[in-house]
Amino acid sequence: MKLIIHGGFFSESSTNQETKKAKQDALSQIVTFGYEYLKSHTALETVVYTVSLLEDNDLFNAGIGSQIQSDGKVRLSASLMDGKTEKFSGVINIEDVKNPVEIAKNLLNYDDRVLSGEGAQLFARNKGFEYFNPITKQRQSEYEAKLNQQNNKGTVGCVALDDSGNLAAATSTGGKGFEIPCRVSDSATVAGNYANQYAGISCTGVGEDIVSGALAAKIVTRVTDGFTLKAATDKSFAELKSFDGFAGVVGISAEGEIYHCDSHPYMVWASFDLNLQVFS
Ligand code: ASP
């Protein structure tokens, strides 16, 4: 059993060590809860549970505390991939919900598995997900001061390998902040979140770069074709260099290899693999 999570990038522009420490503490607590949960649940159930805990923590840019788009609205994106069935589901730019990853989980059982905007919201309401305003005072004042034009990232993600050897990945984001309304993030695409029976990957960083690099799907495909997770990730990150792609990933392979990598300082992450590790 293995579990790895990320809390996006710790903003280079921020020198606030207190926030950094708070994020590390939150990650270590959440990965510990997640690992405990994994002992009696599948990888798929665990990534949904763990990402929902991350969404509920306003230190991260997912669920409550998400970044605000240029028109003053929060639009959330989240996805889920079950490595066992190779099914992907997600919501893109959904408004006024608490846990978009739970809605992605609901969609996994449908033929139409990725919904956007109003359609996603209607689906969520029909499934009983109530109105929730994810804007915090902090995000509102940052928005008003236009402070987070300076790259304050903090998407969340999780990859799990369960006792039966199955992998799953989930990723959730509020986007880049101040983007053109309805800009599509990588987080609910196969570039930002991908898993099969060989590996699972969750990404963070600049969505456009992650999509250009087809990052998560590319790394998982390389592992499927025989690369180790580290070799697959390092090669895919080397390919980001030609356009100075800004990205970070966490991953696990079916062999139990856990790996994380970032192109720029510093993605915050934590893993649980018998012992807890928390780094940034
Ligand atoms: N990847 C996310 C996006 O571009 C942002 C992030 O990871 O911080 O929407």
Ligand 1 binding residues, C-beta < 6 A:
8, 61, 153, 155, 173, 175-176, 185-187, 204-207, 210
Q: In the chain, where does DSSP find H-type helix?
A: 17-38, 43-55, 100-107, 117-126, 137-145, 207-212, 215-224, 229-238
Q: Over 90: is that where the pLDDT of 5 sits?
A: yes
Bridge partners (DSSP) of residue 276 are 272
Rounded CA-CA distance 71/32 in Å is 37
Rounded CA-CA distance 195/145 in Å is 39
Rounded CA-CA distance 118/83 in Å is 28
For a ligand 1 pocket test, name from 55, 70, 151, 176 the mutation site with the most ligand atoms within 8 angstroms of its C-beta: 176
Q: Over 60: is that where the pLDDT of 149 sits?
A: no
Q: Over 70: is that where the pLDDT of 15 sits?
A: no
Residues 172-221 pLDDT 10s: 999 998 899 999 999 999 999 999 999 999 999 999 999 999 999 999 99
pLDDT, position 151 = 47
pLDDT, position 106 = 97
| Domains parsed from the chain with CATH numbers | 2-279 (3.60.20.30)
The catalytic residue positions are: 155
Average model confidence (pLDDT) across the chain = 93
The sheet carrying 247-253 orders its strands as: 193-195, 199-205, 247-253, 258-262
Rounded CA-CA distance 141/213 in Å is 34
3-state secondary structure (DSSP) of residue 3: strand
Q: Quick one: which of 85, 95, 102 has its CA closest to 51?
A: 102
Residues 34-85 pLDDT 10s: 999 999 999 999 999 999 999 999 999 999 999 899 898 999 999 999 999 9
Please identify, by atom number, the ligand 1 atom nearest to the C-alpha of residue 61: 8
Residue of the CA atom closest to atom 4 of ligand 1: 207
In the reported structure, the alpha carbon of residue 53 is separated from the centroid of ligand 1 by a whole-number distance in angstroms of: 18
